[in-house]
Amino acid sequence: MNYEYRIVLSPFIDLDKSFNIEIGNSFTNFFERLENGIDWFK
């Protein structure tokens, strides 16, 4: 099986998928983006 994972920020109150913010497609990718200064809240 081939699974695709995403690291997302999800609001605690409303768990609707439309409010999720993808911050990486793997744990390593998340740290790479963080190190490169990617801004997720634009």
Tell me the pLDDT tens digit for each residue of 1-42.
Answer: 778 888 888 888 888 888 888 888 888 988 898 888 888 776
Q: What is the pLDDT of residue 34?
A: 87
Number of Cβ atoms within 10 Å of the Cβ of 33 = 17
Q: What is the pLDDT of residue 20?
A: 87
Please give the structure tokens belonging to residue 11.
Answer: 């609001």
Residues 6+ apart with CB under 8 A from 32: 24
Could you give the angle at the alpha carbon of 38 between the alpha carbons of 33 and 40, nearest 5°? 110
In terms of pTM, does the model score above 0.95?
A: no
